[in-house]
Amino acid sequence: MRDYKVVVLGAGGVGKSSVTVQFVQGVYVESYDPTIEDSYRKQIEIDGRACDLEILDTAGVAQFTAMRELYIKSGKGFLLVYSVTDENSLKELLALREQVLRIKDSDNVPMVLIGNKCDLKDDRVLSIEDGIKVSQDWGCVPFYETSAMYKTNVDESFIDVVRQIMRKEAAINAEKKQQKQLQKQNALENSGVNASENTKDINDDTDKSAKTSRNKQNSSNGEFEDGKEKSGSKCCVIM
């Protein structure tokens, strides 16, 4: 079972806790109680893989920004929540996203954009198109409009961000595996070069030995022939 830490971010009063509790416990929390930090755990199966989720419901007020940085550092995936009844809550997400990318030092961070309270049709001030535009501006980040009251798209939002985490981990593992294979291949190639050089050295030594042997043989043959010629010239003439 793999552990995944998901962080829920957004302005105060957008329904972060309601969305989280609805996903974890299947109940709707109607009363608003400003959150400092709540942590939840839920075990689910996604695409045949067992997952143990740790979900951190963060504060939406400004005085807890230092704590938020710690949460972002440890988080693997992020749900950025705004309310369709509050235009400023969507604007606040722009700064929150920039903070996430800066702290994670990456443009590829598993993330989902959530427009909550879509059931409050009479109070809506932000359209679906507004959320889609922000999603596109962020590089087509997955976007869902949710209702914590009716559990609309709540599970889908969490499952989506976990899938993104899985894909990112799989890509990192594949890259590491490829690097290991390249290192192994380079090592084999270097080993082959060394073996070839050693063979060349052995062949050179063999050629040198053979050449030396031939020279010695030729030298010996020369001395024998000279001796023969010399002994032949020393003949006696009998008168």
Per-residue pLDDT tens for 131-168? 999 999 999 999 999 999 999 999 999 999 999 999 99
Q: State the DSSP string of 68-125.
A: HHHHHHH-SEEEEEEETT-HHHHHHHHHHHHHHHHHHT-S---EEEEEE-TT-GGG--
Encoding tokens for residue 15? 């329904």
Mean pLDDT of 124-130: 97
Mean pLDDT of 104-117: 96
The residue whose two tokens read 């590089």 is: 139
Confidence of residue 239 (pLDDT cuts 50, 70, 90): very low
pLDDT in the model for residue 160: 98
pTM above 0.85, yes or no: no
pLDDT in the model for residue 229: 46
Percent of the chain residues past pLDDT 70, beyond the cut: 76
Res 71 pLDDT > 60? yes
Supply the DSSP symbol for 127.
Answer: -
Encoding tokens for residue 125? 């001030």
pLDDT in the model for residue 195: 60
The stretches of the chain forming alpha helices (DSSP H) are: 16-25, 65-74, 87-104, 128-137, 154-233
